[in-house]
Amino acid sequence: MENVDGKFIFNEMHQKTEKFSIPKEYRGNFDDFLPLDLTEKEKSVLIDIHEKSKLHNVEYGASIVNGKTYTYTSNKYDGVLPPDDVLELIESSPPKSVTEFHTHTNLTPFSRKDYTYLLKKSIDKIVIIVYNGDTYVAKVENGHVPTKSEYDDKVRQIRNEVIRDIKEESYSQNWTLDEYEYMIIREQAYRIARAFKWELQGGNIYG
């Protein structure tokens, strides 16, 4: 963990073990995001993996490949990966033809690792649903697809800037540690997408 002026900033592995609080001014606030634009099939997939995730307290994932839905879990509360056969299908699919979904067992939006799916040519969009039903969609659209090294360098820069900027904001002093952690991840997710000109959507799947 990192110590920032007496506040401990945990790594993202730890963050996924807690159901983080959201600062009250950001609860249900998706002003920085476009509205959700999901098909009925995509909504159905999301609700299915969300219910499974809450029931078993582990992350679930799903992939829509060539119109077929594959659902899976790694039986971990802090991550999920497609099984090898599904990953092979993803890798061999045409450009922007695959939609990738997964749950978070806490309340945080996209992590740095989540976004690396968008570096794959076959991925059209990635969708996550968190513990309370808040849902986030990321798409490259007309944005830039960086190399892995370019991505890592930019993300490292953004994370340092986010920690610095939030620390300097006076209102952050009223947040709990959980709220502070949530805002670092949320702001990091927003700035990464903005840096590469990716499209971000947000809202709650249940309305």
Q: What is the pLDDT along the chain (207 residues), one digit of tens a residue?
A: 344 444 434 444 444 444 568 998 899 999 999 999 999 999 999 999 999 999 999 999 999 999 999 999 999 998 999 999 999 999 999 999 999 999 999 999 999 999 999 999 999 999 999 999 999 999 999 999 999 999 999 999 999 999 999 888 777 788 888 898 899 999 999 999 999 999 999 999 998
Return the closest-CA partner of residue 53 out of 70, 37, 74: 74
Phi, psi of 134 (to 5 degrees): -60, 135
What does the block give as tokens for 91? 């890798």
Q: What pLDDT, on the 0 to 100 scale, is given for residue 6?
A: 41
Distance, CA of 87 to CA of 76 (rounded, Å): 18
Distance, CA of 54 to CA of 7 (rounded, Å): 30
35 DSSP 8-state letter: P
Helix/strand/coil percent split, the chain, to 5: 40, 20, 40
pTM for this model (two decimals)? 0.89
Q: What pLDDT, on the 0 to 100 scale, is given for residue 167?
A: 84
Other beta carbons within 10 Å of 41: 12
Distance, CA of 146 to CA of 119 (rounded, Å): 7
